[in-house]
Structure 1
Amino acid sequence: MNDTTASLKESVGRYGVWSVQLRSEEPEGGAERAEAAAELERLGYGALWLGGNSAARHAAPLIQATSRIVVGTSIQSIWEHGAAEAAAGLAELEVSHPGRFVLGLGVSHGPRVEGYRRPYSTMVGYLDDLDRAGMRSGHRVLAALGPKMLDLSRDRAAGAIPYLVTPEHTAQARERLGAAPLLAPEFKVVLDSDASRARATARAYLAMYLKLPNYTKNFLNLGFTDADVTGGGSDRLIDAVFAWGDEATIRARIDAFHDAGADHVALQVVEDDPARLPRDGWRRLAALLA
């Protein structure tokens, strides 16, 4: 393990928050986002992972509002942000706030990218460009699901940040990565113990992801069936990729990722209003993780 990767593992700790709301550029919400980031730091989370197609400019205000928490992109699309831009954004934050920003990169999805082609080869070329721009591999992580991208995460980055996965995937990823790289899967939490209500919230949120073949293919590779990934997702699938229930059940579901080999779990609180910062949910989650 190189010093940069070891330092990243220590900095992000065991738990972080994944949020697309914190990535927003709406000016009227800037003060609340900064306040929320500072509170998440006080609550003990080690990292904030910015959903959507995020970049260093989205991380900067949150880093400025806090003193230690790491902020990462999850992910920055390699199709929409050039390597020179990405390297410059990281370098600027590294000067002003060293060790506080990590560049999470991904290949996005065919249905969302015009001219989508050869994602693995394109990622290899992008990493080559980052190297030429002077970015060290320890400052970047990859959104890796399949074995080839996991190999890149091991060999050309500080580790992997898989999205929408299960502990079974985490175990497979850890075996592929080896012990040294950071493995930080994202995991969704619905803080509701009513089965039908929690599953309805989860199913509504999962719907957009079931239209993306990268995820459905990964589910099939993990042993789910076509029936599981159609019709909004089976209860079996919902219960595998979301934690819901009482506090002990949710804590056990999160612990399963660590038991499977995760260093860090990026927790996404899912509620019925996806535009609102789930601040009470983050507080409740921090309490049950304490």
Structure 2
Amino acid sequence: MHAQQVTARLGRIGVWERYGTYAADPDPAAAAAELAELGFTAAWFGGAPADGLFGLAEQLLAGSDRLGVASGILNVRVFPAAETAARVAALERAHPGRFVLGLGVSHVEFAERLGVEYTPPPATMTTYLDALDAAGDSGVPRVLAALGPRMVRLARDRAHGAHPYFTTPAHTREARAALGEGVLLAPHQKVVLSGDPDVARAVIRKEAALYLGLDNYVRNLRRLGFTDADLADGGSDRLIDTLVVWGDEEAIAARVREHFDAGADHVSIQVLPTEPGHTGLPHAEWARLGPALRDL
């Protein structure tokens, strides 16, 4: 399946949000309809538990007949491959041509909390892909959460594309070079709609704290040239401003354009609200960003 065929499901500009935020919303289907109306072309969601991922996917797919939906990502360590294959095939029958299966191996730190053995990521993913292949072709494209060179190569050789999370346009450029042409590249980009550097950086540092404590993200940032000083004390301004774009709609559109210029086929944005205690979907920010991004 060529990148253009996968992009036909996802379009150009998606929105990424945590499973829990969608699940807590009174009407995820209405949120999907809202995103489509604003000009977004796909809804990604991450952090889904084994008993909730496909139910939420069904709700989002039912909310709009044109919005693509993607798992970002399904954790292969906790979702049995045979069950995944069956559920994905059912989604494709009900909503043909609109779902994309994002797969990842999670993190050693999370596996330890779950009591799950953390086997080497490329081998773990290869075994899972073998099991999906053995279950038959559902017609649903697969993309891999890929940061390091080995997982990017696996996305090129065994999947339909890569979905790098919490990274930079520089990584997008490197990933495109490794993937070659014809393989989907769909990076994720966190954004803050605020022109106040103190407010924006405070929001970003709170968000970044989790990722700066996870080994695979730290190793990726070192590969991109960030130093111990950049990674210390919540992250340097250089690190924070490179990882998460803040400012007005034009600033955010410019960063998304950087990903496209670096070789991305699709970019998903994740809005980080600035309002203290905000826990719901960022409807107001979506409404501002939709018109600014729809023509990129």
Residue in 1 that maps onto 2:109: 111
Q: C-alpha offsets along residues 126-168 of structure 1, whole Å, 9 cap, x if unaligned?
A: 0000000113686211000111111111111110000011011
Residue in 2 that maps onto 1:220: 222
**What CA distance in whole angstroms lies between the structure 2 residues aligned with 1:184 and 1:285?**
19
1:55-204 equivalence runs, <5 A: 55-113=53-111, 114=115, 115-135=117-137, 139-204=141-206
Note if contact 2:143-2:159 (Cα within 8 Å) is conserved in structure 1.
yes
Residue in 2 that maps onto 1:231: 233
**What CA distance in whole angstroms lies between the structure 1 residues aligned with 2:293 and 2:125?**
35
* Greater mean alpha carbon deviation, residues 149-158 or residues 5-14: 5-14
1:21 Cα offset (Å)? 4.8
What SS class does the counterpart of residue 155 from structure 1 fall into? Answer: helix
**What CA distance in whole angstroms lies between the structure 1 residues aligned with 2:80 and 2:96?**
22
Normalising to structure 2: TM-score of the pair? 0.92
Residue in 1 that maps onto 2:33: 38
Residue in 1 that maps onto 2:279: 275
Q: Percent identity?
A: 48
* Greater mean alpha carbon deviation, residues 55-64 or residues 103-112: 55-64
**What CA distance in whole angstroms lies between the structure 2 residues aligned with 1:138 and 1:93?**
9
* Greater mean alpha carbon deviation, residues 246-255 or residues 211-220: 246-255
User: Structure 1: any 5+ residue segments left out of the alignment?
Assistant: none
What SS class does the counterpart of residue 71 from structure 1 fall into? Answer: strand
**What CA distance in whole angstroms lies between the structure 2 residues aligned with 1:141 and 1:73?**
9
Note if contact 1:48-1:69 (Cα within 8 Å) is conserved in structure 2.
yes
**What CA distance in whole angstroms lies between the structure 1 residues aligned with 2:73 and 2:26?**
20
1:22 Cα offset (Å)? 6.5
User: Structure 2: any 5+ residue segments left out of the alignment?
Assistant: none
1:56 Cα offset (Å)? 2.2
What SS class does the counterpart of residue 229 from structure 2 fall into? Answer: coil
**What CA distance in whole angstroms lies between the structure 2 residues aligned with 1:223 and 1:207?**
19
1:12-31 equivalence runs, <5 A: 12-21=10-19, 24-26=22-24, 29-31=25-27
Q: Is residue 49 of structure 2 the alignment partner of residue 50 of structure 1? A: no
Q: C-alpha offsets along residues 213-255 of structure 1, whole Å, 9 cap, x if unaligned?
A: 1101100000001111121111111100111123322221111
**What CA distance in whole angstroms lies between the structure 2 residues aligned with 1:254 and 1:152?**
25
Normalising to structure 1: TM-score of the pair? 0.94
**Number of aligned positions between the proteins:** 285
Give the 3 Å change call, closer, same or farther, for CA 23–87 of structure 1 in structure 2: farther
What is the alpha-carbon root mean square deviation over aligned residues? 1.6
1:23 Cα offset (Å)? 6.1
What SS class does the counterpart of residue 227 from structure 1 fall into? Answer: helix
Which residue identity is paired with 1:105? L
**What CA distance in whole angstroms lies between the structure 2 residues aligned with 1:58 and 1:84?**
19
Residue in 2 that maps onto 1:246: 248
